Structure 1
């Protein structure tokens, strides 16, 4: 099941949270979901491929807060904050068509390591495919960057008319390990599309960053591993507890056991007197 389901959706509530934080009544719930989708689509279209990791949306009272996580915050903020002011005004006009009481507030956060962000990696691969760069070369470069930054594993899959072939196919490559069934594994997932002259090519990226566990559990595991290593170093080859040692122990026990005491000798029987002997 872990191979088919969305890796982020599978881990929501365990090690991941939601990208939308709000509560709504049943009547306006569908409109709120559609508005979130439109906001994210507009921001990605405005900023371009390879720049936006994710967009978190929060609603509180009459305020709608949009948090943009990007690898290039300067491209959104602009000179003197002009870019972010224009983006805020545009979003306010779009939101007021649905709810006139909402006021949009835009915040921009920088992604420190964009090479380890699955969505940014997928969009960068698609940007290279649109420039007619070989898909194998684009995948190899992305995997090399992840390994250089101590990523635990990466898996990339592209699908479509690769290289302009007449028949669409799917190709992929993987470096390291990507445990999709492990819920405590921090796996980032990204998907993007490249619009080429031959058609649309899809790109999926899985990046494994390690396990996410509480600090108490991590300390317990470290103590267990350390004790096992000390026990392994302490034990010698003669003290392995295998079958040969048990046999040697049994033979030693048999040799050291005291010999049983000899049985007492029987006394000879007394001669029986007969009539002939008396005469």
Structure 2
């Protein structure tokens, strides 16, 4: 069962949150959903070099808020915020929202961001790097950055052979059925000469209770120092 359930979808409302936050009636639901898909597709394609991890969308009436988490936020922001202003105009044309706000934040640890790790492995595969070497390098960097467990998987015509197969490497812990576990998941595609390879990455960052304890201890230490 752990191999069949999406690790983020399984923990929605427990350790993970929705990427789209809005409510609408049945008539406008499909239209709003397709608007979100258009927004994500446009931003991903235009700012591919920025290393975009997540795109969070919030709607409140006719207001639209888009939060972009990127490894290189400077590419999205542009000089003196020129790119953000242009993006606001484009998103207002793609949607029916009268007021569009775009915020860009930096991903502090890209080595333990599953989506960025998956895209990095896919990029290396496109450059004809060995799949085992690419996966082992990503695992080494993630464990060094503080991950408690990581699993990487590549599927397709690996190495150009006729028969498609899957290969995966796991290091550390990966509790797929523990609901309190904070597991990040990312998926990317590598477009190679022999076909498309699918890359999946799971990163275990600890339990929610442990994270809450660390936050409380950090606050106590700050209060003691002040």
Q: TM-score, normalised by structure 1?
A: 0.73
Question: 2:6 matched to 1:6?
Answer: yes
Instruction: Call closer, same or farther: CA 1:215–1:113 in 2, change over 3 Å.
Output: closer
Alignment of 1:51-62 (within 5 A): 51-62=51-62
Retained in 2: the 8 A contact 1:20–1:58? yes
1:108-163 deviation line (CA, Å, top 9, x unaligned): 01110010000110011101111111111110110000111121000000001111
Report what 1:132 is aligned to: 128
Shift of 1:37: 1.0
Q: Secondary structure at the match of 2:206?
A: strand
Retained in 2: the 8 A contact 1:49–1:127? no
Question: 2:145 matched to 1:149?
Answer: yes
CA–CA distance in structure 2, aligned partners of residues 128 and 87 of structure 1: 29
Shift of 1:214: 7.7
Report what 2:33 is aligned to: 33
Shift of 1:23: 0.9
- Where do 5+ consecutive residues of structure 1 fail to align? 220-279
Report what 2:48 is aligned to: 48
What is the aligned counterpart of 2:190 among 181, 190, 194?
194
CA–CA distance in structure 2, aligned partners of residues 65 and 187 of structure 1: 26
Shift of 1:103: 2.4
Which runs of at least 4 in structure 1 moved beyond 2 Å after TM superposition?
none
Q: TM-score, normalised by structure 2?
A: 0.90
Retained in 2: the 8 A contact 1:50–1:123? no
Q: Secondary structure at the match of 1:69?
A: strand
CA–CA distance in structure 1, aligned partners of residues 125 and 15 of structure 2: 33
Q: Which has the higher contact order (CA 8 A, sep 6+)?
A: 2
Retained in 2: the 8 A contact 1:187–1:208? yes
> For the aligned residues, what is the CA RMSD?
1.7
Q: Judging by fraction of residues, say which structure has more strand.
A: 2
Retained in 1: the 8 A contact 2:50–2:76? no
Which region of structure 1 is more displaced relative to structure 2, 101-110 or 144-153? 101-110
Retained in 2: the 8 A contact 1:158–1:203? yes
Shift of 1:215: 8.0
CA–CA distance in structure 2, aligned partners of residues 20 and 89 of structure 1: 20
- Where do 5+ consecutive residues of structure 2 fail to align? 215-226
> Number of aligned pairs?
214
Report what 1:274 is aligned to: none
CA–CA distance in structure 2, aligned partners of residues 49 and 137 of structure 1: 23
Report what 1:83 is aligned to: 83
> Computing the radius of gyration over CA atoms, which structure comes out larger, 1 or 2?
1
